Structure 1
Amino acid sequence: MKVLHIITGLGVGGAEQQLRLLLRHLPVECDVATLTDAGAVAHGIVADGTRVTDLGMAGNQDVTVLPRLARLIRSGRYDAVHTHLYRACLYGRIAARLAGVRAVVATEHSLGDSQMEGRALTTGVRALYLAGERLGRMTVAVSPAVGRRLHRWGVPRKRIRVVPNGIDVDRFRFDPAARVRTRRRLGLPDTAYVVGGVGRLTGGKRFDVLLHAAAQLPEDVAVLLVGAGPQEDELRRLAHRLGLAGRVRFAGEAAHEESEEEGGAPALPSLLSAMDTLASPSPEEAFGLALVEGLATGLPVLYASCPALDDLPADARTNASYRPSDPDSFAQALYGLRDARPPSRSAPASVGHYSITRSADQLMRVYASVVPGQNLEVNPR
């Protein structure tokens, strides 16, 4: 079986890095096409041995990409096309139909109640999405919450499958040496209590809540923000106004793996090891992958929205606490965690539910359901 994955871009991002991880565990031949931005994750995918084609799309309305993408699909003789992210799902489904491939799967990574990938869910966005969805065979939701949203939009239940995001659990195990090394690199004292936030620096992530909460806490509490985005300058100004300039570190985008270059930027597992708590004040998430990765590093996590955790039984949410997305609630919880630092850093057994091998097996079942005549072996779970 041969599958072409189509994604909007391959800069550093959750969906992009999830695709790279999946490619390592899918037991079928795969290629990747990116509509634009063949960035850091594209280079990593190529290094892993998977071919990446950059279609150089000029903008959201560059329809010239359609015939080029259709030719790529036709010449590659793909049995299935798998699309990721809004723009790629729309153009990829149309191009697959033009190329004569009906086995099209789309993963919905970022559908919230009011936005998708940062864009407001207007009537036009919803109508265009549903029109494209009808050109495919199956839509994969990364959580039951996303599946329910899709159904409310009008996607039939029989066309929705839930395949949660997955993580490489071993890669995120707590590393005490990386903790010391990363803190020194970032200028964080060994004795500091470091509260982390991971994600795009946009208004929807509400990292301003985290800064306002930190301003209420003792001076040994520092904040480490991992990510990049349009709100970075505003957050830096807010940290200065709150008197936190010396207590906040902006780490920028982080890959999931350490750079082989001397002095390369710390990867996400090392940054998580450097933290003492991971906090997500975002009130609207599609999954909450960073929080699962934090749990795998043995961190206590605070969250205002995390379908990945909500979908687990209550007794499996060890180390995870819900808080409303307001500074006082987060400050109160962080103050208690600071005074009760755990003696060790071990991951709860529940993170195994989100193992990447389990997710890959579930996705293979989806492929088997949409590609006629394929006898695909998957591991029983």
Structure 2
Amino acid sequence: MKALHIITGLGVGGAEQQLRLLLRHLPVECDVVTLTNPGPVADGLTADGVRVTHLGMTGNRDLAALPRLARLIRAGGYDLVHTHLYRACLYGRIAARLAGVRAVVATEHSLGDSQMEGRRLSPGVRALYLAGERLGRTTVAVSPTVADRLKRWGVPAPRIEVVPNGIDLERFRFDPVQRLRTRRRLGLPEDAWVIGGVGRLTAAKNFAALIHALPRLADNHWLLLVGGGPEESVLRRTAREAGVAERVLFTGERPYLPDGSPGPDLPSLLCAMDVFASPSPEEAFGLAVVEALACGLPVLYASCPAVEDLPAHSAPTARRVRGGPEELARAVAAVHAEGPRPRDVPEAALHYGITRSADRLMAVYGALTSVSPSPEKAGSS
């Protein structure tokens, strides 16, 4: 089987890095096309031996990209096309049809109740999404919660398959040596008690709530924010105005997988934390929360389908926190008061191993290609 993955961009983001990790575990020949922004994850894929093509799309309405993409699909002789993220799903499904490939699957990474990929939803976006969805055969939801949202939008249930995101469990396992090294490298005091947050620095992630919680906590509490994004300057200003700038560390983007970037990677930074907080009120999966659990961290979250869709006993150290900075501060203080705990990996994290996700996706691929050969393949048999 030969598959083409089409994604909107390959900067450092959850969907992008999930694609790279997945391709390391799929027993399929895969190429990747990025419509825009061949960033650090493109470099990482190339280092992994994956062929990456930058389509050079100039904007959402660059219709000239469509025939280019269709020609690329046709020339590649692909059995299956798999699309990721909104723009790539729309253009990729149409191009696959033009190229004669009927085995088309799309993964819905970022559908919330009121936003998609950090942007507010509108009736126009929903109508266009549903029109494009009908051009594919299967839509993969990264959680049962997302599957339910797709059904409410009008996507027929038989077209939806749930394939959760996956993580490299061994890579995120707690390492006390890395903890010490990373904390020293960050310049943290020995008695620092570190609250961690990971994700794109956008308003939708609500990291400002963590900054506003910090003044309500003891002076030895620090905040470590891992990620880059358009709100970084706003968050830095918020920390200064709250009088806690000296206790808020910004690491910038940290790839999930080794790619030669300077400084500690994400697993090392998780080892340096004492509690993980995800104040985003709307998530499609909650990958960062799962990674934190895999590192044995207690977790405070506002929204995390990856945890909420499992039995409560599978993540005993994860607590849902509703409200703003005051509630977050109280929850952090309660975790701190419990004292040190073993950095054990809960059942919830084990549930999301990447090999399990790859196996489930291969089942989807198999079902599609067994009944949906492209006209070119059928004619040559």
TM-score band, normalised by shorter chain: over 0.9
Specify the alignment match of 1:58 in structure 2. Answer: 58
Specify the alignment match of 2:346 in structure 1. Answer: 348
How many residues align? The count is 373
Specify the alignment match of 2:369 in structure 1. Answer: 371
Specify the alignment match of 2:195 in structure 1. Answer: 195
Residues 81-92 of structure 1: matches in 2 within 5 Å?
81-92=81-92
Q: Deviations over 1:63-110 (max 9, x none)?
A: 111111111100110000000000000000000000000110000000
Specify the alignment match of 2:300 in structure 1. Answer: 302
Report the Cα distance in structure 1 between the residues aligned to 2:90 and 2:260, rounded to whole angstroms: 36
Report the Cα distance in structure 2 between the residues aligned to 1:357 and 1:314, rounded to whole angstroms: 23
Report the Cα distance in structure 2 between the residues aligned to 1:242 and 1:353, rounded to whole angstroms: 39
Structure 1 residue runs of 4 or more that deviate by more than 6 Å after TM superposition: none
The SS at the match of 2:24 is helix
The SS at the match of 1:215 is helix
Q: Deviations over 1:41-79 (max 9, x none)?
A: 011111111111111111111111111111110011000
Specify the alignment match of 2:175 in structure 1. Answer: 175
Q: Does 1:113 align with 2:113?
A: yes
Q: Deviations over 1:167-217 (max 9, x none)?
A: 000000011121112112221112100000111111111111111111100
Residue type at the aligned position of 2:145: A
Residues 35-184 of structure 1: matches in 2 within 5 Å?
35-184=35-184
Report the Cα distance in structure 1 between the residues aligned to 2:34 and 2:284, rounded to whole angstroms: 22
Q: Which runs of 5+ in 2 are unaligned?
A: 374-381
Residue type at the aligned position of 2:256: H
The SS at the match of 1:52 is strand
Q: Deviations over 1:201-234 (max 9, x none)?
A: 1111111111111110000000000111111111
Report the Cα distance in structure 1 between the residues aligned to 2:195 and 2:126, rounded to whole angstroms: 37
Report the Cα distance in structure 2 between the residues aligned to 1:76 and 1:160, rounded to whole angstroms: 27
Per the normalisation by structure 1, the TM-score is 0.96
Q: Which runs of 5+ in 1 are unaligned?
A: 376-381
Report the Cα distance in structure 1 between the residues aligned to 2:297 and 2:243, rounded to whole angstroms: 27
Aligned-residue identity in percent: 66
The SS at the match of 1:371 is helix
- Give me the CA root mean square deviation: 1.3
Specify the alignment match of 1:360 in structure 2. Answer: 358
CA contact (8 A) 1:206 1:281 kept: yes
Q: 1:332 aligns with which of 324, 330, 333?
A: 330
Residue type at the aligned position of 1:155: V
Deviates more, 1:206-215 or 1:177-186: 177-186
Residues 202-213 of structure 1: matches in 2 within 5 Å?
202-213=202-213
CA contact (8 A) 2:163 2:357 kept: yes
CA contact (8 A) 1:257 1:269 kept: no
Deviates more, 1:321-330 or 1:85-94: 321-330
Offset at residue 340 of structure 1 (A): 2.0
Specify the alignment match of 2:248 in structure 1. Answer: 248
CA contact (8 A) 1:259 1:266 kept: no
Specify the alignment match of 1:378 in structure 2. Answer: none
Specify the alignment match of 2:311 in structure 1. Answer: 313
Q: Does 1:21 align with 2:38?
A: no
Specify the alignment match of 2:379 in structure 1. Answer: none
Report the Cα distance in structure 1 between the residues aligned to 2:348 and 2:123, rounded to whole angstroms: 38
Per the normalisation by structure 2, the TM-score is 0.96
